[in-house]
Structure 1
């Protein structure tokens, strides 16, 4: 993000926690240079003015310390200014101000001088109290804010479980900015009488707010609704002089936790704020598990490791107990009573934990899953689809979806994502392709059999769907479609106001709100009048379709690998439900849970899901902002380093998303002049955009294939990455990363680039030729990506002419007939002969190369020359479903003939009269 340093604006939302720390370090450097005489005071005061524009939205350092800093500078005290700014910077970096009263003192010496500012961090129990901040929006003049802050501080009590500081703003725009810039906020108190406009210059802010609210207003309820949209985890309170009894009955007050009559005492409001945070802090299952671990328990059930006696008394495995510690074993049990609960039939604290997760993630119901999102996907597919149902499925989705179709007996109608052949990866499925599939089915009179659209959002490589648009346009064709969004890698997005609308639950909630608006039906009626009674398919494909809100049955499911982007233990997953018809599938859904879930779920996994929800509700906003900032730091560092950028590059949206899907014209996060205004337009309008935390690093230009480079990073430098392609590796920033991680990565890339440079300079002409040839093979001579061909006719007895769905279940179980299968090795000429002359080659199982990780063959699929060429050019060792010694497993032609005979519809029986004729 390019920023004009001459004028710091409050709406530069790319500047996250790390950028704030950088600003303070730069201020320290300016103060030191002033003291040393290498720069004048004006430089320091200019930087201080920049910082002051955004620091007013944070409780610390606060107006008292900022005023002291300005006064020291104005008096010419360079030494005193440097000492104070260093102390403030240190307190911010270490976050010591949350515990130490001396950090709030002007002199930093005596805690006793300012007892009203911050009481001891330890509560009456001796436990350290978590710290947060409360935003207070008020029409009271800023000259009175210091007195109000003192009044709020006097409400604190030693028995309070938490400690908070107030932050005051006087306008709706400043409240919006505070919510965006201050990740420490946990609650907002809105008083009446505030202004709308900020006194600051904030054009990007106004572009953002205009996209959220339709008009500029100083209405407290409108502000509350705006803040709830950007930070739904915040507790909102309204202080009103109106008839609060009547106000509380209005539907728009549902975003508020509580309404207070403003002349009443503040203590109840203070207690309500603490109670609201306590509600999010509570982790029902984890809290009970900790209590359970402290109880004396006699175990007479089949889990010897429980309580740890078999471990700690052993001479041979005691080291495991020493490694993990006693709590892991004390908290183990196969019991579902005594303070615990059953994951299969939750009625107690697991049920409460799932209800809290539903609130946090915007769902109606949440299911905890301890077998990973592979299981979550299979549960959803099995519960929602039946034998013969058609599901529109991204062919490149995770294999669990394909296996789910096998289990359910559903017929997948595969739709293709746009290819990125140069990088040996696929993007996402264009909406036009999905709509065409639905329209083809409608034309054949088979639309009623389509039950589900099953897509991956975001893809492994970071392609994010315009989820709301996809669902609305599909619902315009079939208003009762079920949507299953696999968001295994995208769960964190709920806690970013920029990414949330592109999540399944975020979009579903937006559609639900739109359906309630009178204008929604009017918009549908206008479009229907414009299109006429029977618009052509081409018109429908080109039109941004509006569904009929009176007919929509909103049915949305989202799976989430909590362990992939939040603080959950590996295999911790959640399944989110927002389905108006859930009551009709609840029984079969629970059967799917019984089918796939272990009857001995891991207690620690369940607890980690509970804790992950707590963390994201209370600090997820700041953690995700930091993850995004880390990703931008990596992008900038790679692009700015002349040596690194000579051999490595990060792909921008212009390389990852074809221009036809980027109507906004957005090209890259690092493009000149880009700010969150442009990013918001891309997120709002474009068919596809990129997850900013995904970084596709091209390594083929350094003569490394993805697998090689992944191995080099891991074995030599201790850097782990997950996904690779033929010529790239995928870097992901997450809530766990720090700036130190970035520094390590950049140092490693610089070292590798330096070694390449040295080897080329020392190796002579032949070394250069070999290097160029390797780069050419990786970057230019890349294999074409094979599309799904079709299911063999033996598996398409009831399929249509225009669509390519097939009975994948029968294809899968055809492989169980050993006599009906054959193997042909990839290099054998027999494959080429069969491709030319027949009979057709039909896969008996899934074939999934890693990378790229998508199935290039599924059971029952006719194998094409493109698929064989692709496999022959692959240089990866891991290909699931393929044994290099035996070869491809195929269904024999005679077995296919038998299957075809069995599946062929019987000839109509003739009546005697018909026979006589």
Structure 2
């Protein structure tokens, strides 16, 4: 028996199902509800399909506490009795309760009462009546007992509940490892796992999801043997690392407790001799994640009567609520915002710059949650986080290999640090006026070129954007391993401003910096890593050519590697934090050597008056993601898959709008798996697994490039139209597209609004074209042609002027951007020339060369097409002249291009 129904297999690809597995359940319940309505309407032919759908639901519902066996039996009984109206009532009750999650807070939701009944079918014991207003979760128990004993175990755990318990939970029971992992993939409400030693490894149910997750969890180790509980625990931690694990064993638990590998368990028990202790341990484990040290203290501070004699008049709100002129601000924001403001770092608060109390504790908890060794909270956005890392780790004269198209904070960070950027180019997507990411071969070539010129020792960092604005994700493990094979002490800075949520997806986590660093760290400690390196040494010989190294999938020397990985996350971009809430994640084996200078960088960039509310939301965002992040991320992924499917398959909308696929956003040479579309139902499990594991680039499913050129809209105009006329807000645009983003805040209703709006616009275009004369049709077609075909070529970085290169004879690209930046401060050494001036064309032909004095960054596309000290080429000027955007940072149209004079 398969876990997946045929109808779902025909609509959704394996990769979309594996990335958004929790959505399977609600989709199937909605399908049953739809069929029930058809039955009530007189369609009896659908009964066979309905019976099959219920059987499939049974295979999924056993992994959830609600609705439970009694409610499902009631539903089946209505079908057997051919009571179509009764069936509809019960099905609607269950499906709406599941989708609304009402059962988590309302005791009455557990009843099977419909309009014709007065007695509940499965009322929970009275002890759960205190569930209201208490956070609810579920506990997975893996047991060796017969299924006939399972309901008894559920009743036993319910009986232990106490009114004073802070949380309430229900138990889900399975009998083997494969079912346990399936439950964890399907059920996001599971917050803890209890293992009763003696369970088996294999399930009787076929579940192709396990083929994909096996690439993450390594199922080859999971066998029916004495270590099954341990290997199962290790697999669980690979899939859902946030979960608490408890083991009940009939062995000598004292000896087991001394086993280093057994540290994966939160606590060990000798069988079931202490059921209350187990219950309390489960609650305490959840409480440790629920705790928000800074936010909790801030709430307590706000509740105290405090007299303030410091420079923050807004604190406590007296100046606001007593005012005749600004009291509306108090009414709008509420009293707590002002009561929770202070410039003090005592009295229950803490200092962000030198935390010793609750902020320090909150950062330690965040490090645990994000899989890092250290975490720093930042209240000035990831722009500041990036500059902190660059200033802390780079010194004047150091070379940093940097994506030319990265966020401007990285370029300015090099100016501040005095580091020499060696710009590497991303592959272009000229048709859509955007860039992708930097091919690994380009990065390796930069390292090898620097090595050939005797400058490899000066290279300190590789700095890349993992998950670009448009959604391109690196194979982070491969990039780091191959670069470390060339220079084993490289530092990596991964700007994951848009990708912080990915830690809570077992498939996407391996593509994050921290996820890949953990895998590399574990791998380097194995004999397999040593053997792989020795084998490679034999194959390459003592002096391999650059060509050999470029073609080889390099593995590093595990004895030489110093793994140093930094990751910056805009928590506010994908989690529940206020704007400018960011974190720096650290996994650096040599962090002790740079800790002092890292703190100096924090002192340099962090405000001495940080926003307490931003700090609090960083704390709360971590709590939310640890306790429900898996399900929230799965929902965001499902929203994105559905948007893609609905737009691209719609007979009218798809004429004018399209969400670009993997094949359109990533050239084939970077997709050896052949994956073309995450919604392709013909994708095999091998393709899906290989794409996530091996493809050089993957597209973040939550970022959707919607082309609008075929509708006659440029990106900026379409963005304004959506906001002004339909209350739909987007951010990034290109010449002929806009970027749609799904996140943990979106719902299915948002999809409906978007589709309705796109259909309305499409129908208006259809009508206008049908009713318009030939002149109007020709004008429309020309507008479409100009947007789709007449797009400017994307210019690459040229080179730094010789003045800013230490040795122009070397065939390297790095330059002294800091010197050029400050040379531009000398007005007598600068000049301005208007972009359309003939002087520009004459200089391009005959010289002297044009050298940029500024960063020039058009929005869109949002990358610097000029940096201080860069030689300006004809391609750059052509691109600038074709730009039709209003916002160009670093360029004053009234003055023209600011240039550094040449003699």
The TM-score range, normalised by the shorter chain, is over 0.9
C-alpha change, 1:389 and 1:862, in structure 2 (3 Å) is same
Match of 2:537 in 1: 528
SS at match of 1:178: helix
Partner Cα separation in structure 2 for residue 791 and residue 780 of structure 1: 32
Structure 1 position 836 matched with structure 2 position 842:
no
Residue 142 of structure 1, CA deviation: 1.1
Aligned residue among 200, 203, 220 for 1:198: 203
Matched ranges for 1:181-220 at <5 A? 181-209=186-214, 212-213=217-218, 214-218=220-224, 219-220=228-229
Match of 1:784 in 2: 793
Structure 1 position 143 matched with structure 2 position 148:
yes
Matched ranges for 1:472-871 at <5 A? 472-674=481-683, 678-798=687-807, 801-871=810-880
Q: Deviations over 1:247-285 (max 9, x none)?
A: 223232232212222142211111111001000000000
Structure 1 position 80 matched with structure 2 position 95:
no
Matched ranges for 1:269-418 at <5 A? 269-418=278-427
Structure 1 position 55 matched with structure 2 position 61:
yes
Residue 676 of structure 1, CA deviation: 6.3
C-alpha change, 1:221 and 1:70, in structure 2 (3 Å) is same
Match of 1:169 in 2: 174
Q: Deviations over 1:379-410 (max 9, x none)?
A: 00000000000000000000000000000000
Query: In 2, are the aligned partners of 1:171 and 1:198 still within 8 Å (CA)?
Result: yes
Match of 2:108 in 1: 102
SS at match of 1:849: strand
C-alpha change, 1:367 and 1:229, in structure 2 (3 Å) is same
Residue 864 of structure 1, CA deviation: 0.3
Partner Cα separation in structure 2 for residue 43 and residue 597 of structure 1: 61
Residue 654 of structure 1, CA deviation: 0.5
Match of 1:69 in 2: 75
Partner Cα separation in structure 2 for residue 247 and residue 465 of structure 1: 40
SS at match of 1:713: helix
Structure 1 position 445 matched with structure 2 position 451:
no
Partner Cα separation in structure 2 for residue 558 and residue 3 of structure 1: 40
Residue 191 of structure 1, CA deviation: 1.9
SS at match of 2:44: coil
Query: In 2, are the aligned partners of 1:397 and 1:455 still within 8 Å (CA)?
Result: yes
Partner Cα separation in structure 2 for residue 411 and residue 3 of structure 1: 56
Query: In 2, are the aligned partners of 1:139 and 1:191 still within 8 Å (CA)?
Result: yes
Query: In 1, are the aligned partners of 2:294 and 2:349 still within 8 Å (CA)?
Result: yes
Matched ranges for 1:2-21 at <5 A? 4-5=6-7, 12-13=17-18, 16-21=21-26
SS at match of 1:803: coil
SS at match of 1:711: helix
Query: In 2, are the aligned partners of 1:465 and 1:689 still within 8 Å (CA)?
Result: yes
Partner Cα separation in structure 2 for residue 672 and residue 43 of structure 1: 21
Q: Deviations over 1:198-220 (max 9, x none)?
A: 22122342343255313441411
Query: In 2, are the aligned partners of 1:27 and 1:85 still within 8 Å (CA)?
Result: yes
Residue 533 of structure 1, CA deviation: 1.0
Partner Cα separation in structure 2 for residue 874 and residue 81 of structure 1: 61
Query: In 2, are the aligned partners of 1:515 and 1:549 still within 8 Å (CA)?
Result: yes
C-alpha change, 1:111 and 1:520, in structure 2 (3 Å) is farther
SS at match of 1:237: strand
Structure 1 position 30 matched with structure 2 position 32:
no
Partner Cα separation in structure 2 for residue 451 and residue 419 of structure 1: 27
SS at match of 2:872: coil
SS at match of 2:652: helix
Partner Cα separation in structure 2 for residue 785 and residue 44 of structure 1: 55
Out of 239-248 and 523-532, give the one that drifted further.
239-248
Query: In 1, are the aligned partners of 2:18 and 2:209 still within 8 Å (CA)?
Result: no
Residue 230 of structure 1, CA deviation: 1.0
Query: In 2, are the aligned partners of 1:479 and 1:551 still within 8 Å (CA)?
Result: yes
Structure 1 position 130 matched with structure 2 position 135:
yes
Partner Cα separation in structure 2 for residue 494 and residue 156 of structure 1: 33
Aligned residue among 889, 893, 908 for 2:898: 889
Residue 557 of structure 1, CA deviation: 0.3
Partner Cα separation in structure 2 for residue 226 and residue 441 of structure 1: 42
SS at match of 1:634: helix
C-alpha change, 1:744 and 1:16, in structure 2 (3 Å) is farther
Query: In 1, are the aligned partners of 2:111 and 2:120 still within 8 Å (CA)?
Result: no
Query: In 2, are the aligned partners of 1:208 and 1:677 still within 8 Å (CA)?
Result: no
SS at match of 1:492: helix
Query: In 2, are the aligned partners of 1:790 and 1:804 still within 8 Å (CA)?
Result: yes
Out of 638-647 and 852-861, give the one that drifted further.
638-647
Provide TM-score, normalisation by structure 2: 0.96
C-alpha change, 1:579 and 1:638, in structure 2 (3 Å) is same
C-alpha change, 1:518 and 1:398, in structure 2 (3 Å) is same
Partner Cα separation in structure 1 for residue 479 and residue 19 of structure 2: 28
Partner Cα separation in structure 1 for residue 357 and residue 118 of structure 2: 49
Q: Deviations over 1:268-319 (max 9, x none)?
A: 1111110010000000000000000000001000000000000000001111
Partner Cα separation in structure 1 for residue 205 and residue 748 of structure 2: 30
Residue 190 of structure 1, CA deviation: 1.6
How many equivalent pairs are there? 891
Provide TM-score, normalisation by structure 1: 0.95
Q: Deviations over 1:739-763 (max 9, x none)?
A: 1111111111111111111111121
Unaligned runs of 5+ in 2: none
Query: In 2, are the aligned partners of 1:100 and 1:120 still within 8 Å (CA)?
Result: no
C-alpha change, 1:208 and 1:99, in structure 2 (3 Å) is closer
Residue 83 of structure 1, CA deviation: 2.6
C-alpha change, 1:406 and 1:68, in structure 2 (3 Å) is same
SS at match of 1:5: helix
Residue 101 of structure 1, CA deviation: 2.7
Residue 611 of structure 1, CA deviation: 0.4
Out of 754-763 and 70-79, give the one that drifted further.
70-79
Query: In 2, are the aligned partners of 1:343 and 1:350 still within 8 Å (CA)?
Result: yes
Residue 4 of structure 1, CA deviation: 2.1
Partner Cα separation in structure 2 for residue 177 and residue 276 of structure 1: 22
Q: Deviations over 1:347-371 (max 9, x none)?
A: 0000010001000000000000000
Query: In 1, are the aligned partners of 2:221 and 2:231 still within 8 Å (CA)?
Result: no
C-alpha change, 1:170 and 1:229, in structure 2 (3 Å) is same
Residue 118 of structure 1, CA deviation: 6.6
Matched ranges for 1:211-230 at <5 A? 212-213=217-218, 214-218=220-224, 219-230=228-239
